[in-house]
């Protein structure tokens, strides 16, 4: 039997790289994508079938999907929508362009890629689409408004898509990680530097603490796990005859999912406010 095929976005580092390597080792034919040429070359040097794919560029999405389908004879078994970044900053400091950029990558590009792949899966009558959301897709923390909004939007559109795909043989699953070791904070710091004018902000003192947090080496959040914890859930979402709708990863992801269901909003706000305050002490 042919190896199952999967296309993964954002494989230059972190979760995407770990899942690409893990699935390749498990016998999958992995199309590992990254947006920068040097990262594509690095992935190829590791023995992965690597392609360029930038979620902010429709032509790049189309070219990557066309190339994958040309190589597989028109089949694709799975898509792992992993790529994304966090734009830090208080809501009142977010420019329209910074917010738009956050949605371009995390939501619009991800859906465009999904929509390029869906006709293939519908034709096959089978397929798995896995979307890397976050616990910040169902609870909010301060200074993460842009990221929160993009991940809440991912949750909503995925819930809709699941209903629309009912009976098609195509399954959609959300992965809801809490803190995972990756380059996420380093990349978030770059976006903070690019888009937030801390000196002009009401929150300027808080931003000093935020900068320390974003640049601190090693994990800063309790219960942080390695990206292998996500790989384990992705394997279940790919291989189980009854994949789950949501896969929680890390203790905080489970904890906040329960809190969201069980607690009144005021109590949840109290917990999330205390965590937010503690993060920028």
Which residues here bind ligand NAP, judged by CB under 6 A? Answer: 9-16, 34-36, 53-56, 82-85, 105, 109, 132, 134, 177, 179-180, 182-184, 187
Residue 69 or 221 having the CB closest to ligand NAP: 221
Q: How far is the CB of 105 from ligand NAP (least distance, A)?
A: 4
Where does the chain show beta strands of DSSP type E? 5-8, 29-34, 49-52, 78-81, 127-132, 170-177, 246-249
Q: How far is the CB of 16 from ligand NAP (least distance, A)?
A: 5
Q: How far is the CB of 199 from ligand NAP (least distance, A)?
A: 26
Catalytic residue among 28, 147, 207, 247: 147
Residue 13 or 126 having the CB closest to ligand NAP: 13
Q: Quote the CA–CA distance of 202 and 197 in Å, as a whole number.
A: 10
**274, two tokens:** 């205390």
Residue 29 or 151 having the CB closest to ligand NAP: 151
Question: Is 147 among the catalytic positions?
Answer: yes
Residue 109 or 145 having the CB closest to ligand NAP: 109
Q: How far is the CB of 114 from ligand NAP (least distance, A)?
A: 14
Residue 84 or 127 having the CB closest to ligand NAP: 84
The answer to whether 245 and 236 are in contact (CB under 8 A) is no
Q: How far is CA 47 from CA 20, 29, 31, 65, in A?
A: 11, 11, 11, 20
Q: How far is the CB of 218 from ligand NAP (least distance, A)?
A: 13
The residues assigned a catalytic role are: 147
């Amino acid at each position: 039997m042919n190896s199952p095929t999967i296309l993964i976005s954002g494989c230059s580092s972190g979760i995407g790289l770990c899942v690409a390597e893990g699935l390749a080792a498990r016998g999958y034919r992995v199309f590992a994508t990254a947006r920068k040429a040097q990262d594509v070359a690095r992935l190829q040097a590791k023995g992965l079938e690597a392609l360029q794919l930038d979620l902010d560029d429709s032509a790049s999405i189309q070219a990557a999907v066309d190339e994958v389908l040309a190589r597989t004879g028109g089949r694709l078994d799975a898509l792992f929508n992993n790529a994304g970044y966090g734009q830090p900053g208080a809501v009142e400091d977010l420019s329209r362009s910074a917010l738009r950029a956050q949605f371009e990558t995390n939501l619009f590009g991800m859906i465009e890629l999904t929509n390029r792949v869906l006709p293939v899966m519908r034709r096959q009558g089978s397929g798995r689409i896995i979307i890397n959301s976050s616990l910040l897709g169902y609870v909010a923390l301060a200074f993460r408004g842009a990221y929160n909004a993009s991940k809440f939007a991912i949750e909503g559109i995925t819930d809709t898509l699941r209903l629309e795909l009912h009976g098609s043989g195509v399954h959609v699953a959300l992965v809801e990680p809490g803190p995972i070791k990756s380059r996420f904070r380093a990349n978030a710091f770059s976006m903070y530097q690019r888009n937030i004018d801390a000196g002009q902000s009401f929150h300027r003192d808080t931003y000093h603490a935020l900068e320390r947090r974003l640049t601190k080496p090693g994990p800063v959040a309790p219960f942080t796990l390695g990206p292998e914890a996500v790989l384990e859930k992705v394997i279940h979402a790919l291989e189980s005859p009854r994949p789950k709708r949501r896969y929680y990863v890390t203790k905080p992801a489970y904890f906040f999912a329960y809190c969201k269901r069980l607690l009144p909003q005021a109590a949840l706000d109290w917990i999330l406010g205390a965590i937010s305050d503690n993060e920028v002490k």
